Structure 1
């Protein structure tokens, strides 16, 4: 059979096309492997950079809103690298703790709106605000619970065995942050009046695990965390201990360090006991500390967070009693404070 030149040319082109197709198809798996290697490298770099630079930079800032926006915006991106490299559990502890506080802040705002509506006799508006409040707390609880789960993935089940061997100060801080997340997850679930799935023993577990941290090094906060749990749970306080004495000491340590978390724990414990006078006294002392003791340069973010939480407690008291939140620049003052007598001078003789 004779093959014309035109037929031969067409056959050659088809064979060439088939060969090229085979070559490209054989390269595709290789491209996928290369891409995965690039993604893994990028993920490792992002995790390392975040740990070594982003978190310390953020902790030295007092811009809580910026930190909130960053955690909500970047968490999906940074966590997605867990699909191609090691799960960024340690980073996730911080991201979900911060994102949880964002949702909790929204819940507090809705609570204030509900209290204002109740005072004004606006039943429907109050009910709607309370629904929004519960939704926000449910979201906060889910985020805090995610932080707690990642904490467990890094350090093991807290409070059940030996303390972890920490690599550095940031490692210890992330451990403490995870304990806060567990406690906050349980509290937010209660506030939401819904079932999020937070283990009911989380508070007790976090309190035991706080013993792995040096109390003096961490501004008195580990023992303060224990003490607030003791005050909340009947029978939890060890014999010979006094939760409120421990909390008073924690205030002093917090003041000296310029990281005022101890005041927050004390105010929460007093509020759980229904002692409004003590709550107001703790808020006053916190405000006095702000005027005399600068925030820690390395942990300004934590100190600012403590002040925001104290302001939230003050706002609730003000709203319940006056219909508005704490006036600007008056943290530590209250509606029922006696006005100080103002000295007056007769200016007639000077004219």
Structure 2
């Protein structure tokens, strides 16, 4: 009898995760498969005698539970009993567990029958898995350890230098938070990550179970950056201006650089009624740059960069996360020649 039990178990993974956890929204087969570790993967068929219990030892390193998969050539009545390390029956409901050959839990594929026995919430330790078949049976027994539902809120995170991002873990208690390089990003005992300087590092959440959950952290400078306009972005006979980068100077003033694209036959001599609004990540207005006239010359069918400076004194917040801000031009027109 030949079978690929490891491949077959993946078919059951999504359903099994639901047995062990209450939430499984958007889980893929690959993600589900990663929640299990193979304990036993037999290479040849075993022969069991009718009425004689066969005991297979296994060990759990985590206290989340396990899954047993029994493969036979035909459905068969059987009794399943789990024992502790000294041979006593494990104290939980349905132990022993009776399985009928007519049970709808038997699955058929490629000439073989599969019975899957999920057992959640079992303490780490050494055990025996006992099976008593009602008739002599050739079988294979696969066993998988459930790795738990521990999940970190972000597998990847981008943090602005000088600012923070809160990480959390569900499905397990966190014993400690650690940063691989605290010169790039540091993390406190509550999972709050602070960007120290531009670069990349990894933050670890160490669970009480000893599992290391990781978040790859990228720290970026506190600068605003957007797409720089090009002539191909602007329709014929139109003129457009947008801010594409901004940063604070040494005095705390906000310096914004905008690109003007003139796709007209006219020669621009000045900007009229310039109104640029800066908002923070929450959508709150931090500052507004206004001027009735800004002298600049832009030839027909050409581009030019211009700078606007918002004084520190005119900013409602002297310090804010500029990388996640929005900078928008409102209205305005152009003087032509």
> TM-score of the superposition, structure 1-length normalised?
0.22
Q: Flag the structure with higher strand content.
A: 2
> TM-score of the superposition, structure 2-length normalised?
0.23
Q: Larger radius of gyration, structure 1 or 2?
A: 2
Q: Flag the structure with higher helix content.
A: 1
